[in-house]
A and B are shown apart, each in its own frame.
Chain A
Amino acid sequence: MGRDLSYAGVMGRRNDIMLKAVGIDYRSYATGVLAFDYEALMREAGDIAEVRRIQRETHVGDTPLWELGNITRLVRALAPPGKGARVFLKDEAANPSGSFKARRAALSVYHAARKGYPGVSAATSGNYGAAVASQAAMRRVGCIIIQEVFDSRGIGQPEIVEKGRACEAYGAEVVQLTVGPELFYVFLVTLEETGYFNASLYTPYSVAGIETLGYELAEQMVAREGRPPDVVVVTHAGGGNVTGTARGLRKAGATAAQVVGVSVDLTGLHMASDRDFNRKSFTTGHTGFGIPFATWPDRADVPRNAARSLRYLDRLVLVTQGEVFYVTELLAQLEGLERGPAGNTSLAAAIVLAQELDRDKIVVVQETEYTGAGKHPWAQLTFSRRNGIAVERGDPAGNAPGRRIVLPRDPEQLRVKEFPLDNVRRSYLRNALNQAGDRRLLPEDYRFLADDTRLDEDRVRSFLKEVAASEAN
């Protein structure tokens, strides 16, 4: 008799499939009902010198750090007298597959090859697919990328179609699906059938791979300006970018650098909706991933997520789709760098944040991504119009996800919307209580929740009481 391939049957085997496909026994890191030893788990990936060595074997990292002179001039023209920090950019598009995701893929594929897996697989509709495919090509292992691409009309999101093409260019097999979280089911079936390694975005390998980004940029800034940056602005989706960058900054001694996460505001669009799917112009870096993953990281495709953004975020802000398209134009036309658009989410916020700071301060935008057919402002806005979405110039406050994209009329209209971290923490703790269920939390759990939320234990207890009381009502 064959395997039970029903949805329920496969999901019931998920823990066994994952254990084989990641090669990490997550149960051995558990220290409480919810708690686990996060730093011990991260040590699976080795120290930063080892990570850099592995990445250099496959052309990853050592990307340039540019000062954006014209953008800084624009920032100062907009800022109050005496204000307007210098803006720098780490050109991560210079990585082999055109984005920082090469850093995340490098270690996973290295360890998969070293442990003798015949190939690697990842469930991703983003740049990560091409990154895994490119690394797999260099390490000569098989690669299957599973994407969510089409709506039920068979119409593909152009950005994701392009990413699938890039995967194929590196020799990967691409499984293209219509909308739905059952992508995970297909992923499990594929892992079970092939015995491939799960190159998840959320393993210690993936997150440690990004530490080199934070580490490098701190090193480069010290070499250039004699000190680390004051603010590092990071596009925030699943949490790995924030987590890895912040950890790398700390390891390089840049402990005072403020880490600001930025997501595109897609409030109101349901991520699993067939109808909403092609009404978004950004397929990553948005609140549809950013908020759920910050409020409960362990919703990932591995038992414990190594990307835990609440531990590292100093501030979280939102920008609109229209603002990101606008700054994508600024980057091309003022700095001669045609990049993005989705990777420019943090640039949109940096232009605003730099106006708040004194002129001697330094703001770093820590990534770019390649641009191309499909993942380009013209391609995305043409697609939006075809899907009935209005595109216009005006006040970005008029952006309405899925209905209207408003490009600012003037650069003064760029702004950020604060997303209070205490709201994220409250949701996180509500999710933690639900997860614990009837089980009584241990002292180790309170310590873990404090670390995971950057609160002290007393505040965790009082937040938990508030949350429990509001649940009871």
Chain B
Amino acid sequence: MSEKARPGDWVQIHRVVLPPGERAPQVPQDTQAVPLEMRVKGFALDAAGLGETARIRTTTGRELEGRLVGIWPAPGHDFGEPVPELLTIGGEVRARLAEGEGDPDNG
């Protein structure tokens, strides 16, 4: 990934919405201690480097400003890793149904 966004690049910006101390009164302690942060993606309006202030136009046409944190950012989520505890379940229950075949009470 390039360290510098050009105008028109799809980028992500970051902003602190509420710093610690200005959070809602009902928020638990661990959340009170951290800021409420916002990330939004859109098309860069100017050239900007990572960590610098950048302006974007979102898909709804809003212009927003924040710290540039991603250039062509990937979603990053995936299917995880194979989970051994899940892999055998299908075979187990199919075997259970096979045992029950021919049982007149099961049909």
Assess whether B106 is in contact with A77, with CB atoms less than 8 Å apart: yes
Q: How far is the CA of A374 from the CA of B78 in the complex (A)?
A: 5
Interface-lining segment among B1-9, B28-36, B44-52: B28-36
Minimum CB–CB distance for A163 against chain B, Å: 10
Contact A333 B34 (CB under 8 A): no
Q: How far is the CA of A6 from the CA of B18 in the complex (A)?
A: 9
List CB contacts (< 8 Å) of A68-86 with chain B. Answer: 70, 73-74, 76-77, 81
> Of A42-50, A53-61, A174-182, A304-312, which binds chain B?
A174-182
Please tell me which one of the listed residues B31, B36, B90, B93 contacts residue A411 in the complex, with CB atoms under 8 A apart.
Answer: B93
| A13-21, A266-274, A462-470 - interface stretch | A266-274
Mark the stretch among A109-117, A142-150, A217-225, A418-426 that contacts chain B.
A142-150
Check A378 for interface membership: any CB of B closer than 8 A: yes
Q: Provide the bound-state CA to CA distance between A168 and B60, in Å.
A: 11
By a CB distance below 8 angstroms, the chain A residues around B23 are 7, 180, 182
Which A residue sits closest to B81, measured CB to CB? Answer: A382
Q: Say yes or no: A373-B36 contact (C-beta < 8 A), given A180-B27, A334-B94.
A: no
Contact of B30 among A168, A274, A381 (CB under 8 A): A274
By the criterion of a CB under 8 Å from any partner CB, how many residues of chain A are at the interface? 67
The answer to whether A178 and B36 have CB atoms under 8 Å apart is: yes
Contact A393:B80 (CB < 8 A) given known A7-B22, A77-B100, A178-B35 = no
- Is the C-beta of A30 less than 8 angstroms from some C-beta in chain B? no
CA distance A374 to B99 in the complex (A): 35
Chain A residues with CB under 8 A of B97: 70, 73-74, 77, 334
Does A403 have its Cβ within 8 Å of any Cβ on chain B?
no
B interface, over-half SS: loop
Which residues of the partner chain A approach B38 to less than 8 Å between Cβ atoms? 175-178, 186
B60 is contacted by which of A7, A158, A173, A177 (Cβ under 8 Å)?
A: A173
**A275 beta carbon closer than 8 Å to chain B:** yes
B28 CB to closest chain A CB (Å) equals 5
B102 interface residue per 8 A CB criterion: no
Check if B78 sits within 8 Å of A273, measured CB to CB.
no
Q: How far is the CB of B20 from chain A (nearest CB, A)?
A: 10
A442 at the interface (CB under 8 A from B): no
Give chain A residues whose Cβ lies under 8 Å from the Cβ of B82. 378
Chain B residues whose C-beta falls within 8 Å of the C-beta of A119 in the assembled complex = 60
Seed contacts A73-B106, A180-B24, A376-B79; 17 additional CB < 8 Å A-B pairs: A119-B60, A177-B17, A177-B36, A177-B39, A178-B37, A181-B24, A182-B18, A182-B27, A186-B17, A194-B62, A272-B26, A333-B94, A376-B80, A379-B77, A380-B80, A391-B85, A411-B96
Chain B residues with a Cβ under 8 A of chain A: 17-18, 22-24, 26-28, 30-31, 33-42, 58-62, 75-83, 85-86, 89-90, 92-94, 96-97, 99-100, 103, 105-107
Chain A residues proximal to chain B, CB less than 8 Å: 6-7, 70, 73-74, 76-77, 81, 119, 142-144, 149-150, 152, 154, 156, 158, 161-162, 164-165, 168, 171-182, 185-186, 193-194, 270, 272-275, 325-326, 329-330, 332-334, 373-374, 376-383, 391-393, 407, 410-411
Listed by A's residue number, 16 A-B pairs whose Cβ atoms lie within 8 Å are A7-B22, A76-B105, A119-B60, A152-B37, A158-B77, A161-B77, A172-B60, A173-B41, A175-B39, A180-B27, A182-B24, A182-B27, A186-B17, A273-B30, A378-B82, A380-B80
